Chains A and B, each alone.
Chain A
Amino acid sequence: MGSDEAYNFVFKVVLIGESGVGKSNLLSRFTKNEFNHDSRTTIGVEFSTRTIQLKSLIIKAQIWDTAGLERYRAITSAYYRGAVGALLVYDITKHLTYESVERWLKELYDHADPHIVVMLVGNKTDLGSERSVPTEDAKDFAEKNGLLFLETSALESTNVETAFQNVLGEIHRKVSSKEVTRGSISAVSLSSPVPRAAGDPEEKKPCCRNL
């Protein structure tokens, strides 16, 4: 899928969070612009890619969607390897899914790169009347823990694009600034085996501030 396209960066991003919060639909909304009420449960892993343009750079996002059920955590660590970004998703109508955010965060930092960019995502804003997690609470939590934050609706396609773009932009900012040396994030590979986009192969271009 698109492996012959030209791109400057490949970023691996994982979707994590409790079962049923809408991870798979966020993925399909972003990569295929599809939403399915009856999408199958994720067992093991699903993944998809999308190539986006950020300013003058072309970034290929490999997004890995994992199973949310507690039981699968034993095996999900394998999926985190090489991930440079994560969307930690909860359901704004189910407080329990928000309460487990801390556990997920710990899980993530235990297994993934310490410089990983994490965004807390409150999904299902289309069900606003059933909201049980106030935006402010989540926002505060995100700030305290140095996470990006957004509320989305995969159903109505609200903020999905922005969420992914912000994460990808932030990853790029980290990579191109001195914060992270290129070597320490293993999944960021300059697209050596494929033809580049004409012009700017270097990551030091003065672009991609935090969006």
Chain B
Amino acid sequence: MLSNWNKWMVKRHKKVRLRCQKGIPPSLRGRAWLYLSGGKVKREQNRGKFEELDSQAGDPKELDVIEKDLHRQFPFHEMFVSRGGHGQQDLFRVLKAYTLYRPEEGYCQAQAPIAAVLLMHMPAEDAFWGLVQICEKYLPGYYSAGLEAIQLDGEILYALTRRVSPLTYRHLEKHKIEAILYMTEWFMCAFSRTLPWASVLRVWDMFLCDGVKIIFRVGLVLLKCMLGTREKLKACQGQYETMELLRSIEPRYMQEGFLVREVLEVPVSERDIESEHHVQLKRWRKNHGELHWKSPPRMHGARAIMASEPPSRQDLRQNPTIIVESPLPPPQPTPQLQKGEKKAQLSHIPATGCTMANVTAAQLWATIVYFRMIFILLAFKTPYCLEQAHSQQHTLMHHCQVL
């Protein structure tokens, strides 16, 4: 699917969606997320950008806040547990790069868990582009000064609650519980700090495929489950009690199988969200005036993003994540390994233009690299590369959360 991404997305998008709903296999998740989010295309189109940002110093004020937060993300996760360890270092690089990429936006604390989840699945450069896509396409304006977009989405969630669970809506209305009180962390962190780990991954699979409606639906499911029946409401009279209940959601409602099933059932579409957005925006303008922060329009999922930034064949080509430097010079300059520098030269060579000798040399070289990689992986268990290590991490993380 990933090797013919364009075709699958254009012609058989339903199948892609189904795959995301079933759960992306752990060994492919990182790559799939990068393709879905359009981070891959963005990275290819901005080659060298991350390195450039990475080498800059950054605004000391922002860096101070970022540094304070490095050890406060998933503190129990193996990757982020040690101060100054590679997980925290990469997190710093990604967040710093973002503040340089969008200096007018700067750093917002909720970006750290988003970047951390991405980093658990991909190297820093990829995670950076993933973060860019989430901040600009999926959840535009969420992390910008004034936090208007999240407040607006709070209103939208509240309005949708009325449709999905009138009982819950009336309760929230009666006790004057504004959505912003309970949904800020849910939405800004895309549930990464709320749900058990297995569910986070399933929700993100669907979220990166179908966009923000998944986040809304998860929110609606949790609200409905926790506050959807008269008995439950009777037991929680008052704002504080309700907040407490929403803070300690029963594990059975967050269990991945249950949650995904329920999320797929919620009758809320992109169009519903857009039309409610329109209504709430109008209300907002009436009450607060024009929005201070002009965000780009929200993209509802992978297909919309792809349409807005059409990839070239080159952009979607799969590159090896790790290139092992050999002490010997490569026998022949091969297209596979020289993508960066030789891009200009390669662009006029037709794809089938390689000679037989070239292909063989490339294959031979690839085999050597492959064995070297395996050797290194086994020796060091570099977490970015060894998918097995990923799943171990996840299991560990999951256990930590359960505990």
A104 at the B interface (CB under 8 A): no
CB atoms of A71 and B147 under 8 A apart:
yes
Near B by CB (< 8 A), chain A positions 40-63 give 40-41, 43-45, 47, 49, 62
Q: Contact string, B109-126, partner A, CB cutoff 8 A, digits 1/0?
A: 110110000000000000
Bound CA–CA A72/B65 (angstroms): 14
Residues of B within 8 A of A3 (CB): 241
Near A by CB (< 8 A), chain B positions 95-109 give 108-109
Q: Is the interface of A mostly helix, strand, loop or mixed?
A: loop
On whether A43 and B193 interact (CB within 8 A), knowing A19-B65, A69-B65, A69-B108, the answer reads yes
Residues of A within 8 A of B237 (CB): 193
A155 to chain B, nearest CB (A): 15
On whether A43 and B243 interact (CB within 8 A), knowing A71-B145, A75-B147, the answer reads no
Near A by CB (< 8 A), chain B positions 61-105 give 65, 68-69, 71-75
CB atoms of A44 and B184 under 8 A apart:
yes
A198 at the B interface (CB under 8 A): no
A79 at the B interface (CB under 8 A): yes
A18 to chain B, nearest CB (A): 10
Bound CA–CA A79/B177 (angstroms): 10
Q: Contact string, B133-161, partner A, CB cutoff 8 A, digits 1/0?
A: 00000000001011110110000000000
B396 to chain A, nearest CB (A): 16
In this complex, what residue of A is CB-closest to B189?
A: A43
Bound CA–CA A41/B72 (angstroms): 6
B181 at the A interface (CB under 8 A): yes
A39 at the B interface (CB under 8 A): yes
B116 to chain A, nearest CB (A): 11
B51 at the A interface (CB under 8 A): no
Bound CA–CA A38/B81 (angstroms): 9
Chain B's interface size range is 35 or more
CB atoms of A74 and B244 under 8 A apart:
no
In this complex, what residue of B is CB-closest to A36?
A: B75
Q: Contact string, A69-93, partner B, CB cutoff 8 A, digits 1/0?
A: 1011011001101100000000000
CB atoms of A38 and B180 under 8 A apart:
no
B224 to chain A, nearest CB (A): 20
CB atoms of B65 and A43 under 8 A apart:
no
CB atoms of B108 and A71 under 8 A apart:
yes
**Within the complex, which residue of B147, B178, B189 is in contact with A72, where a contact is CB–CB below 8 Å?**
B147
Bound CA–CA A10/B69 (angstroms): 33
Bound CA–CA A135/B241 (angstroms): 38
CB atoms of B112 and A45 under 8 A apart:
no
B34 at the A interface (CB under 8 A): no
CB atoms of A74 and B181 under 8 A apart:
no
CB atoms of A75 and B184 under 8 A apart:
yes
**Within the complex, which residue of A1, A12, A19, A49 is in contact with B109, where a contact is CB–CB below 8 Å?**
A19
On whether A40 and B193 interact (CB within 8 A), knowing A19-B65, A19-B109, A75-B184, the answer reads yes
CB atoms of B68 and A1 under 8 A apart:
no
A201 at the B interface (CB under 8 A): no
Bound CA–CA A195/B32 (angstroms): 56
In this complex, what residue of B is CB-closest to A47?
A: B243
CB atoms of B72 and A40 under 8 A apart:
yes
A7 to chain B, nearest CB (A): 13
CB atoms of A43 and B147 under 8 A apart:
no
**Within the complex, which residue of B75, B176, B244 is in contact with A40, where a contact is CB–CB below 8 Å?**
B75
CB atoms of B244 and A1 under 8 A apart:
yes
- How many of chain A's residues have a CB under 8 angstroms from any CB in B? 28
Residues of B within 8 A of A74 (CB): 145-148, 151
B188 at the A interface (CB under 8 A): yes
Q: Contact string, B165-197, partner A, CB cutoff 8 A, digits 1/0?
A: 000000000001010111011001100010000
B84 to chain A, nearest CB (A): 13
**Within the complex, which residue of B71, B176, B182 is in contact with A38, where a contact is CB–CB below 8 Å?**
B71
CB atoms of A47 and B109 under 8 A apart:
no
Bound CA–CA A78/B239 (angstroms): 12
B232 to chain A, nearest CB (A): 14
Near B by CB (< 8 A), chain A positions 10-39 give 10, 12, 19-20, 37-39
CB atoms of B109 and A79 under 8 A apart:
no
B17 to chain A, nearest CB (A): 29
Bound CA–CA A5/B184 (angstroms): 30
Near A by CB (< 8 A), chain B positions 188-224 give 188-189, 193
CB atoms of B69 and A41 under 8 A apart:
yes
CB atoms of B69 and A45 under 8 A apart:
no
B240 at the A interface (CB under 8 A): yes
In this complex, what residue of B is CB-closest to A20?
A: B68
Bound CA–CA A144/B256 (angstroms): 55
A163 at the B interface (CB under 8 A): no
A112 at the B interface (CB under 8 A): no
A154 at the B interface (CB under 8 A): no
B247 at the A interface (CB under 8 A): yes
Of listed A12, A43, A45, A49, residue having the most chain B CB within 10 A:
A43
Residues of B within 8 A of A20 (CB): 65, 68
Known: A40-B193, A69-B65. 18 other contacts (CB 8 A): A10-B240, A19-B65, A19-B109, A38-B71, A38-B75, A40-B74, A43-B110, A43-B184, A44-B181, A44-B188, A47-B243, A62-B240, A69-B109, A71-B147, A74-B145, A75-B150, A75-B151, A81-B176
A selection of 6 A-B contacts at a CB cut-off of 8 Å is A1-B244, A43-B185, A71-B147, A75-B151, A78-B178, A78-B181
Across the A-B interface, the 5 shortest Cβ-Cβ residue pairs: A44-B184, A38-B75, A44-B185, A20-B68, A41-B72
- B interface residue numbers (CB < 8 A to A): 65, 68-69, 71-75, 108-110, 112-113, 143, 145-148, 150-151, 176, 178, 180-182, 184-185, 188-189, 193, 237, 239-241, 243-244, 247
